Amino acid sequence: MNVVIAGSHRLPAGQAPRLLIRFLAALPDDAIILMRRGMNGQVPGPFEFDVAQLCYMLHLGNMWFEPAPTDKYPGRKSVFLRDIEMVRKADLVILFVTPEEVEDAYAGTMHLLDKAMDEDRPVYAYSVDQDGHVKRVGEYDTQHLYADIAPSA
């Protein structure tokens, strides 16, 4: 099982939600967590760093996806291609954003919701406020494949 877990760089540091810990602990041993980071092995954002640490502690595999700019797809275009590739490899997509980003459909992490739906991948999206309160703000799982294991807020 491949699971994308992505969080906005705007999330408060150290706010990997407790419900995510329970979710990760319940995944099968062979689950692979797909995450994004910058080019050339850059240190991931605070959220992804926290998730990577949880994966390590729980003995879950993880795979990093990085943009690969080309003449045809420079800069931000390569970031979008990275995200599309990551979603295509996923069985499930879990997203965390700030409440403000829920309203901004063009926020970097929120566009993954659209990409998951475009690729017909189950996706669950959550907002996390400054106090760490989590709220489910969207989902797309037409066959209810992951309704029982998706984090519940």
Domain ranges, ordered by start, for the chain: 21-89, 91-153
Q: Are 92 and 20 in contact (CB under 8 A)?
A: no
Two structure tokens written together for 41 = 């092995």
Two structure tokens written together for 139 = 């989902």
Whole-model pTM: value is 0.91
Which residue reads 């494949």 in tokens? 145
Q: In 92-148, where do the E strands start and end?
A: 92-97, 123-128, 134-140
pLDDT-derived band of residue 5, with 50, 70 and 90 as boundaries?
Answer: very high
Predicted pLDDT at 108: 74
Two structure tokens written together for 98 = 């700030």
Q: Are 116 and 122 in contact (CB under 8 A)?
A: yes
More confident residue, 131 or 123: 123
3-state SS track over 96-148: EECHHHHHCCCCCCCHHHHHHHHCCCCEEEEEECCCCCEEEEEEECCCCCCCC
Q: Kindly report, residue by residue over 47-90, the tens digit of the pLDDT.
A: 898 999 999 999 999 999 999 888 998 888 888 899 999 999 99
Sign of the CA dihedral running 14, 18, 23, 29: positive
Predicted pLDDT at 15: 67
Q: Kindly report, residue by residue over 141-150, the tens digit of the pLDDT.
A: 999 999 888 8
Q: Kindly report, residue by residue over 20-46, the tens digit of the pLDDT.
A: 888 999 899 899 999 999 888 788 888
Predicted pLDDT at 105: 60
pLDDT-derived band of residue 107, with 50, 70 and 90 as boundaries?
Answer: low
Predicted pLDDT at 153: 66
